[in-house]
Structure formats: structure tokens, C-alpha cells
Structure 1
Amino acid sequence: MHNFLPIAYFENQFVPFAEANISIATHALHYGTGAFGGLRGLPDPANPEQILLFRLDRHCQRLSHSARFMHFDLPADKIQQVIVDFIQKNQPSKPFYIRPFVYTSDLGIAPRLHNVKKDFFVYGLELGDYLSPDGVSCRISSWHRQEDRSLPLRGKISGAYITSSLAKTEAVDAGFDEAILLNAQGKVCEASGMNIFMVRNGTLYTPSMNQDILEGITRDSILTLARELGIPTEERAIDKSELFIADELFLSGTAARLTPISRVENYTFSKDRPISEKLREKLSAITENRDPDHSDWVFKIPLKG
């Protein structure tokens, strides 16, 4: 049962969430012609009169780029202003997740992006841990990640998530928490909605951008923090067998934050995760506005004024 925030932004106005409804004939519903973002917010632990958002500018920029793939001109500054207004109208008092979505809103048939109306909405819901912070078990999926030559993987295109959905359900039905997808070349790609990291011999590895991964904002943040902490990092292709002999594995994403992997298939990993924990503590301090070195990553929204 989700606790949705009471106000949504829909068809260029703020309305009660329950009234923000689309038709069953909506173009995006039939063809996956939508793109979305996702970002977390929380009341400032040191000042309950303001909300903290992690890397709001990057999230708005990525959604604007995703909209461009949909042939929709939606400037990042407009997205940001709507989100600020959205938060001030909802006055959230618990940690929450925001889902902005761009989509083809015309009614009718025929898959296309030309001569079809586009629109933009925002809603939110209270959200704690998306995955267990103690660690998750993962299955190597029988489904492969799409290729960028067939789908613009630099955007969060809604239609692409059928593969994630198939992989996630396959994993859960087999008794696992999450799925790890390989790309068409058989290299490790990402989880159903998260990037993946591996630690071996003190070095932090993650699939490089040419491995058909999503350009994750949390992924980028973790790489930056690791380098600042003196942890060697490398972005490259990763083989499946490397996962089984890793010292540490974890997933990253807006919803998942930094979630350890405790098992892949029948290979179990130690609960001693020094690098993962160091990065998770650093990331948590930043998102809670306790780290002055990265205060520019935290956007502060006053609830009054």
C-alpha cells in the first residue's frame, strides 16, 4: 500500500492526486512512448522547515534529455520549478520519492512521435528502503539488456522497462530479490533498475558507459566519492564469472541508494564490506546535508515562503 502525496502536477496545473487520471486510449499507455525520472527527498534532519533533494539539477537535466528522445522540448529549468512548487504544495513530513513523467498524451492509435501531443506530470509517494539495506540476493537473468542501437538507453524510456519487469519477476519467482542483466555481448550490465559495482583487491569496478547501461546519477556520485576517498576506480566491461569471486558487490540507484549484494546465484559474500560501507556512509551524510564538501549536491527547498 503506497502513501501518495496529496497533490499532483497534471496537465499544467496542480490538482488532487486522485483527480490526476488519464484515458485508457492514451497513446503512451499503448506504445511505451514515455520517459520518467525519479528522485528522493527528505525533511532536513537539522531544520524541519526545509526539504532536501539530492542532485536536483542533474535529475532535471536527464529528464529533459529523455524528453528530447520523445521529440518533446521540455527545459530542465521548467522541470525544476514544477518540482519545487510541487514540494511546497505537498509539505511532505517523511522521506519521499518523486516521479516526473513525460509522455505522448494524445488519444488514438499508430506508434509515432510526430504529430502527437506530449505532456508532463509529477506525483510522489512516501518511500523508505526500496531494497533491504542488509543485502539482497541476485539471479543472473535469462533476459538481456537492450542495445543502444535499438533504443536510446541514455534516457529512461518507459517502454524499455518491460525487460526490467520480466527480469525482476523471473528472479523473485526463483526465490531471489533482484536480477542482474547481461548485455548482448554477455557482459555484466545492470540490475532491473540499478547500476552495479564490484570490489576486487581494493579496486572499485563498474560497467563502463559503452556497456548499454543507464547513465545513473547515483552511479556518477559514487565514482566521484570513491576517487575523493582514495579508492581506485575503473570503468570497464565485467564478465559474469568475476561477480562470483568479488570481495564486495553492491547496487546503486535513486530508489535503492547503495544496497549491498549478499548472494549471486549460489555464491554467498562476506558481510564485511569496508569499501561499500565507507561509500554508503559518505552518501548518506551528503543526502542528509551533513557533509559541507558536497553541499552543492543538495538542493534545499523551504516549506514556507
Structure 2
Amino acid sequence: MQNFLPIAYFQNQFVPFAEAKISIATHALHYGTGAFGGLRGIRDPQSANNILLFRLDRHCQRLSNSAKFLHYDLPADKIQSVIVDFIKKNKPEKSFYIRPFVYTSDLGIAPRLHKIEKDFFVYGLELGDYLSPEGVNCRISSWHRQEDRSFPLRGKISGAYITSSLAKTEAVESGFDEAILLNSQGKVCEASGMNIFVVRDGKIITPGFDQDILEGITRDSIITLAKASGLEVVERAVDKSELLIADEVFLSGTAAKITPVKRIENYALPVEKPITEKLRDKLSAITENRDSNYKHWVYEVPLA
């Protein structure tokens, strides 16, 4: 059972989570005309009176950009202000996940984005590890990622996640933990809700933006950290066969953080994953505000 935070932001006010409800006729429910964000928060290990948020500004800007695809002008600073107030009202004790969501809130039935009401809500829930930190087993999905020419993949549009849902369920029901999707060209794209990285001969390889991937914030952070550590990072098309002979493969995302891949289909990957572990340790130190070089990535919300 999910432990939701007690207060939500809904229809321009803070209300008990149980009272934040939409109509069954809500436009976005029928047409997938919504967009969402997701960010983690933790209690500051050095100061229990502070909540730490990782790259809040980037998350708010991405959601603001996603809203533009819905013809909704929602400034990033408005989103950030609501999220900060949301945290102060909930005062979460455990690690948690925040879900801000923009959507067409009208009760109409015509699939459109013009002359229709939009709205914005925020809720949260306690969340530990989304995927096992020990690693996951993946299969290549029979479902392919959408193309940007038919879907705005630079946004986290809710309708796109039917593909992720199909791929995830297919993977789990066939004995795996996670799915890896190919794009329409047959190249490696991403997992069901995560970006993917491959390590070969000390070099980090990841699909570029031209491969129909989501512009992941954790992905961007990993690339920055890897380069700062002297590691070579290459963004390019990745073949399926490269996954099977890789030295390391790992997934990244807000919920998944950095999750190593143990096996792909019936191919076991090496047990030792030094680069994955190095990057995971570095990212953990930053999110816990223990790295002075990246304090600008951490937003502190005082609760006292």
C-alpha cells in the first residue's frame, strides 16, 4: 500500500490528499493530455530540519516546457513555489517522491488543446528504492518507443506512458524486472521509465537525443559527473548487440537513481561494475549534500 503525503495542491489550494479528486469526465483522463514531473526529496542527514531536493530548478523547467505542448503557460518559478510550499505543509519524515502534474481539466469530449481549461496539481508519497539497488534483469521489449515526429518526446506527456506500461508488464510477466525498448530504427532507446548507459573499455556510451529518448535530468547529471571524473562519454546510436557484450550496463532516472543491470535476456553481464558504483556513490553524496562542488544542484527547504 502506498503511503501518500497528507496534503496535496489541487485547484489552486492546499487540501487533504483524500479530497483532491477529479471528475470521470476529465478531458485528460480520456485523451492522455497531461504532462508530469517527478522528483525525490530526503531529510538532510546533517540537519533534520531541512528537506533536500535534487535539481529542483531543472525539474520545474522541464515540466514548464512539457506544459507548452499542451498550450499551457505555466512558469517554472510558479511550479517551484508550489512545490516548496507543499513540502513545508507536509513535513515528510521519510524519503519521498513528488508528482507534479499538468493536464486539460475541462469536462469536454473533443480531443483538442485550444479553448479548453488546464490545471496543475501536486501530490507526494513515501518512496524507497524503486528498483533493487543490487541490480535488475532486463528483456528487450517487443514494444518500440514512439517517434518524435508523431509524439512530443521532449516532454513527459502522460499519453506516451501506455508504451512504458505495456513494456514493463510484458517484462515482469515473462520473468524479468525491467524492459529495454528499441526505437523505430531498431536502436537501443531507453527502459520503461529510465535512460540507459553502456560501459565498454572504460568508455561510457548512451543513446543521444536523436534516438527518441527522454531528456533525463539524472542522465544529464551522470554525463556531467562522468566527464568531471575524467571518463569519456559518447552519445550515439547503440545497437542491441552492444548490450550483450558490454562491461557494464546501468539505468538512470529520478525514481531508479542509478540501477545496475545484471542480465539482459539470457546474457549475464560481468559482476564487477566499478564505473557504475563510482557514479552511484558520487550521485548519492551530492543528493545528500555531502559534495561541496555540487551544492548548487541541491535545493534546501527549511522546515523550522
Aligned length: 304
Amino acid at match of 2:47: N
Cα drift, residue 252 of structure 1: 0.1
Matches of 2:286 and 2:116, distance apart in 1: 41
Q: Which residue of 1 aligns with 2:275?
A: 275
Runs of 4+ in structure 1 off by over 3 angstroms are none
Measured in 2, the distance between the counterparts of 1:239 and 1:37 equals: 29
List aligned pairs for 1:114-125, cutoff 5 A: 114-125=114-125
- Per the TM alignment, residue 223 of structure 1 is displaced from its structure 2 partner at its CA by 0.2
Q: Which residue of 2 aligns with 1:135?
A: 135
Match of 2:13? 13
Structure 2 stretches of 5 or more lacking a match? none
Q: How does 1:27-106 map to 2 (within 5 A)?
A: 27-106=27-106
* Cα offset, 1:110, TM superposition: 1.0
Which residues in structure 2 correspond to 1:194-273 (within 5 Å)?
A: 194-273=194-273
- Per-residue Cα deviation, 1:130-175 (whole angstroms, up to 9, x for no partner): 0000000001000000000001000000000000000000001100
Give the AA of the match of 2:299: F
Q: CA deviation at 1:243?
A: 0.2
**Aligned amino acid, residue 214 of structure 1:** L
Equivalents in 2 of 1:218, 1:116: separation in Å? 33
1:150 match = 150
User: 1: distance between equivalents of 2:182 and 2:270?
Assistant: 24
Deviation per residue, 1:201-232 (Å, 9 max, x gap): 00000000100000000000000000011111
1:108 Cα deviation (Å)? Answer: 2.2
- Normalised TM-score (structure 2): 1.00
- 2-structure distance, mates of 1:227, 1:16: 44
Partner of 1:107 in structure 2? 107
The amino acid across from 1:102 in the alignment is V
Letter in 2 for 1:163: T
Tell me the distance in 1 between the aligned counterparts of 2:58 and 2:259: 21
Partner of 1:126: 126
Gaps (5+ residues) in structure 1?
A: none
Which secondary structure does the structure 2 equivalent of 1:116 belong to?
coil
1:97-150: CA deviation from partner (whole Å, max 9, x where unpaired) = 000000000012010001110000000000000000000000100000000000
Partner Cα separation in structure 2 for residue 224 and residue 48 of structure 1 = 29
**Following TM superposition, by how much is the alpha carbon of 1:21 offset from its aligned partner in structure 2, in angstroms?**
0.3
RMSD between aligned residues: 0.4
